[in-house]
Amino acid sequence: MIDKTEENTLETKSISFGYGKTLVLEDISFSIQRGDFVALMGPNGSGKTTLLKTLLGLLPPISGEILLNGRPVLSYGPKERAKLIGYASQEPSFSFPLTVKELVSLGRYPHSNRFQDSPEDEHAVEEALRITESTSLRERKFTTLSGGERQKVLIARVLAQASHLLLMDEPTTHLDIYFQLHILETLKKICREKNITIIAVLHDLNLASLFADKALLLKGGESVAFGKVQDVVNENSVREIFGVEVAKKIEPGQGPQFIFLRRPVP
């Protein structure tokens, strides 16, 4: 299944997107190799979610091009595309009592038959539950789960859907520190074990530096920096995009640590 010959899983060539005359994304270019874990970072309103939706093909860019496995993303049919890219939005409001297994099975939509799940679907669902360590939750109602459990299940759903590339919008927001680590470890494991590419919107500088391979920093709809996370996320870039003074400490054998020094730069 793993195709090593394809260099770039996803490549954007100076894409811009806007509503009317206001540009929300401007001239963004980057390329991501298979198996990368990319942290998408930037202040609120910097265009992170819009970028994810543009990459998904939900919002067509007004200029530029997005290539998925070397082909324009908009040239894929909706189901064909859904087999390659999966999307987990910020936690959806949800008031119907689907079980965890039913919810994860929804991820099989682009693959499966309208009325009957195939053994392959069953297998994909079980595997997604296993790797997210949510097998024991399978018969529970999604509405009764805790925030952290819900997030695991939502990851399992998108994992059951797509084989290539997962886009996650703030997968760790609203979670306690245990689940923040747990979710990121799960995502990292998915990257490593399955060679799946992940782009996740993350807010925590420390966690992003610890888990991501690369980072894309956005400010005001423009890409400020893109590269290896240890090179890109530093005192200068944090001051520039967030307006916050930090000190970056690197302890041998550990990830870098950011210490917040001061409140917003005036």
Written as six digits, the tokens of 161 are 């859907």
Instruction: Provide the mask over 23-62, with x wherever binding to another protein is found by CB under 8 A and - wherever it is not.
Output: ------------------------------x--x-x----
Gap between the Cα atoms of 23 and 125, Å rounded: 39
Written as six digits, the tokens of 170 are 């703030």
Among 13, 141, 188, 194, binds another protein (CB under 8 A): 141
Between 156 and 233, name the residue whose CB sits nearer to another protein: 156
Interacting positions 104-123 with another protein (CB under 8 A): 106-107, 109-110, 114-115
**Could you tell me whether strands 214-219 and 8-19 are parallel, antiparallel, or unpaired per DSSP bridges?**
unpaired
Interacting positions 1-20 with another protein (CB under 8 A): none
Q: Work out whether 144 is an interface residue with another protein (CB under 8 A).
A: yes
Cα–Cα nearest to 38, from 157, 182, 247, 188: 188
Which range, of 78-86, 126-134, 183-191, 248-256, touches another protein by CB under 8 A?
78-86
Strands (E), 164-209: 165-168, 197-201
CA 7, 125, 177, 95: dihedral to nearest 10 degrees?
120
Gap between the Cα atoms of 100 and 94, Å rounded: 13
Between 53 and 194, name the residue whose CB sits nearer to another protein: 53
Q: Work out whether 138 is an interface residue with another protein (CB under 8 A).
A: no
Among 20, 21, 92, 263, binds another protein (CB under 8 A): 92
The DSSP result for 147-171, as a single string, is HHHHHHHHHHHHHHH-SSEEEESST
Between 53 and 248, name the residue whose CB sits nearer to another protein: 53
Locus of tokens 């997107």: 17
Q: Which residues bind another protein (CB under 8 A)?
A: 53, 56, 58, 77-83, 85-89, 92-99, 102, 106-107, 109-110, 114-115, 141, 143-144, 157, 161
